[in-house]
A and B are shown apart, each in its own frame.
Chain A
């Protein structure tokens, strides 16, 4: 599992790329990815194109990010979900909280 965070050039958007398993082991790295950035982005993109697996702990981490990003006013998009990952997001009805594509 590797987590990379890439601020956009104007600092308005932060892209977090998660490769491998997104589970409890990613807890600290995922937090660091949005807490240890110098800018305060307006929106977030979670790029899941190389994410092979996502468990309920990861759903919890996404909720923590949502809170960090302003709760109900947070702008977070989950991009490039593979079918397995999308299924887990769908079962939990997370499309009610995040933009999922």
Chain B
């Protein structure tokens, strides 16, 4: 049963009007009648009928004008107008359609054809109605979605940008679209000085790709702030992503650990295109992806092996997302690595590298690329960076002042466990030490790596004099660490109240050989075993630094007074 329609009949001849009304009512529709165009328009606006049967020639206002105005008044809704006409020449019929008519019906009226045309027009009218409803629904959904994305992006920006991307030695470029493509760039100061940097690229697009960024950023910032090393952070990131992401979603990423004091960079690349170490002298080392992306492997199978490279002041580490290499031109060619290398060749040492890459992409594809992430981190003197003081979550009301503690980390534990975050957490419970937290961390880190690398592992820092030796040093370090099953590093921590302030004594010992405790010269040598830089740092940052009283290790002191 077709829907009952309300149909407006505009016809100046009373007889025709009567005839039509009868036919249309008998077909089950509600009828409204008007005897000229003006009446028809008024009635249309008042009653909003579904369909109009319109005589072309009428007094006061003719059907053409009335049709135009009714169409205007109907707006987006389709109100079909069927012209009733005794006109038969083509030109007149065209006028009917041009005025907005949808069809015409020749006089004298044929009941069957009129019925069929009303039904056909009703189908059209409903189609239009459905299309409009769906359009409005889509628009509503879209607005909803955009709003969700805005909120998500605001949260995302908060999470992602709590780090130190604005540090003077970092340059980066992230096109707006890149963020919603799942690109993520994070950087944070380590408590011991130096920086961690992460460039990540999640599979997929849009919100699903951006969602994994939240836990990634939280883990990265949280663990960096607590003093964890790159490998601990990598393991945690991989385990977390593996746990929460659906199968088939993962994060290609490169992580950097830059040490300004040791002038080194530690690199892990899993699934990002080659990054580059760009040296002052124009030479270049590729930082190759050697691992599966984060979130693919089970924690037990994950490989956290990093590579370490020496840096000189002014050397830069450059990372990029695949959006650069996969930029496409009209011939469906990819920009590719070869073209990128030509840009790098041409711009050796230039500070406008990003502009040059963007220009090359633009020249290649004929349009600006909006799926690009680039970051460049430069080795500078640490004092050029305005490092913010360490932040603490608690109010620091505790007054732990008078205690001592000793720890011995042995054999296999040294292989996997980094004791520094644990020790630092303990020491920074002492509120008076917090202002010196950064220095304390640096000194502990230097003492520990000295004890581990030179004492327990017996590595010779003289190796590190050139690039090959440098690589060899870290190869040996990782090899010996893997085989390590005996040896120890001891930390003795002693806190002493001193007036209203206090003093911290730290002694670090190791199981290293070839060391005569009684000999002053040997003591001096022991201090010199630190690479020159490490020793200088410890001396500079601690209040006092000496060979321990029994000669078994190195002792440093920090003190504070309440007004300091």
Question: Is the pair B247, A64 in contact by a Cβ cutoff of 8 Å?
Answer: yes
Query: What residues of B have a CB within 8 angstroms of the CB of A55 in the complex?
Result: 326
Query: What residues of A have a CB within 8 angstroms of the CB of B164 in the complex?
Result: none
Question: Is the pair B204, A60 in contact by a Cβ cutoff of 8 Å?
Answer: yes
Which single member of A60, A88, A94 contacts B249 (CB below 8 Å)? Answer: A60
Given contacts A64-B248, A92-B292, A97-B292, contact A84 B334 (CB under 8 A): yes
Given contacts A67-B247, A84-B334, contact A59 B203 (CB under 8 A): yes
Q: Which of B203, B334, B336, B337 gathers most chain A CB within 10 Å? A: B203
Given contacts A91-B272, A93-B271, contact A56 B203 (CB under 8 A): yes
| A60 to B204 Cα, complex, angstroms | 9
Taking the closest CB of chain B, its distance from the CB of A71, in whole angstroms, is 9
| A99 to B397 Cα, complex, angstroms | 59
A46 close to chain B: CB less than 8 A: no
Nearest-neighbor residue (CB-CB) of A97 within chain B: B292
Query: What residues of A have a CB within 8 angstroms of the CB of B337 in the complex?
Result: 87
Nearest-neighbor residue (CB-CB) of B336 within chain A: A84
Using an 8 Å CB-CB cutoff, how does the interface string of B332-369 with A read, 1 for contact, 0 for none?
10101100000000000000000000000000000000
A63 close to chain B: CB less than 8 A: yes
| A93 to B290 Cα, complex, angstroms | 7
A73 close to chain B: CB less than 8 A: no
Query: What residues of B have a CB within 8 angstroms of the CB of A53 in the complex?
Result: 334
In chain A, residues 63-93, which have Cβ atoms closer than 8 Å to a Cβ of chain B? 63-64, 67, 84, 87-88, 90-93
Nearest-neighbor residue (CB-CB) of B337 within chain A: A87
B240 close to chain A: CB less than 8 A: no
| A73 to B289 Cα, complex, angstroms | 25
A45 close to chain B: CB less than 8 A: no
Query: What residues of B have a CB within 8 angstroms of the CB of A52 in the complex?
Result: 332
| A55 to B337 Cα, complex, angstroms | 16
| A53 to B327 Cα, complex, angstroms | 12
Query: What residues of A have a CB within 8 angstroms of the CB of B293 in the complex?
Result: 92
Using an 8 Å CB-CB cutoff, how does the interface string of B268-296 with A read, 1 for contact, 0 for none?
00111110000000000000011111001
Taking the closest CB of chain B, its distance from the CB of A3, in whole angstroms, is 16
Nearest-neighbor residue (CB-CB) of B205 within chain A: A24
Question: Is the pair A57, B204 in contact by a Cβ cutoff of 8 Å?
Answer: yes
Query: What residues of B have a CB within 8 angstroms of the CB of A19 in the complex?
Result: none
Which single member of B203, B274, B291 contacts A93 (CB below 8 Å)? Answer: B291
Question: Is the pair B204, A92 in contact by a Cβ cutoff of 8 Å?
Answer: no
B104 close to chain A: CB less than 8 A: no
Taking the closest CB of chain B, its distance from the CB of A29, in whole angstroms, is 15
Given contacts A55-B326, A56-B322, A93-B291, contact A63 B272 (CB under 8 A): no
Which single member of B247, B252, B292 contacts A56 (CB below 8 Å)? Answer: B252
| A97 to B201 Cα, complex, angstroms | 20
A61 close to chain B: CB less than 8 A: yes
Taking the closest CB of chain A, its distance from the CB of B205, in whole angstroms, is 7
Nearest-neighbor residue (CB-CB) of B333 within chain A: A84
Given contacts A55-B326, A56-B201, A57-B204, contact A92 B248 (CB under 8 A): no
Taking the closest CB of chain A, its distance from the CB of B202, in whole angstroms, is 8
Which single member of B204, B247, B289, B332 contacts A63 (CB below 8 Å)? Answer: B247
| A56 to B292 Cα, complex, angstroms | 12
B180 close to chain A: CB less than 8 A: no
Which single member of A24, A84, A88, A97 contacts B204 (CB below 8 Å)? Answer: A24
Query: What residues of B have a CB within 8 angstroms of the CB of A94 in the complex?
Result: 292
A96 close to chain B: CB less than 8 A: yes
Nearest-neighbor residue (CB-CB) of B248 within chain A: A60
B83 close to chain A: CB less than 8 A: no
Write the residues of chain B forming the contact surface with A, with a CB cutoff of 8 angstroms: 201, 203-205, 247-250, 252, 270-274, 289-293, 296, 322, 326, 332, 334, 336-337
A-B contacts, 27 listed (Cβ < 8 Å): A24-B205, A53-B334, A56-B201, A56-B252, A57-B204, A59-B203, A59-B250, A60-B248, A60-B249, A63-B247, A63-B248, A63-B250, A64-B247, A67-B247, A84-B336, A87-B337, A91-B271, A92-B252, A92-B271, A92-B289, A92-B292, A93-B271, A93-B289, A93-B291, A93-B292, A94-B292, A97-B292
Write the residues of chain A forming the contact surface with B, with a CB cutoff of 8 angstroms: 24, 52-53, 55-57, 59-61, 63-64, 67, 84, 87-88, 90-94, 96-97
7 shortest interchain CB distances as A-B pairs: A60-B248, A56-B203, A64-B248, A92-B271, A60-B203, A93-B292, A63-B248
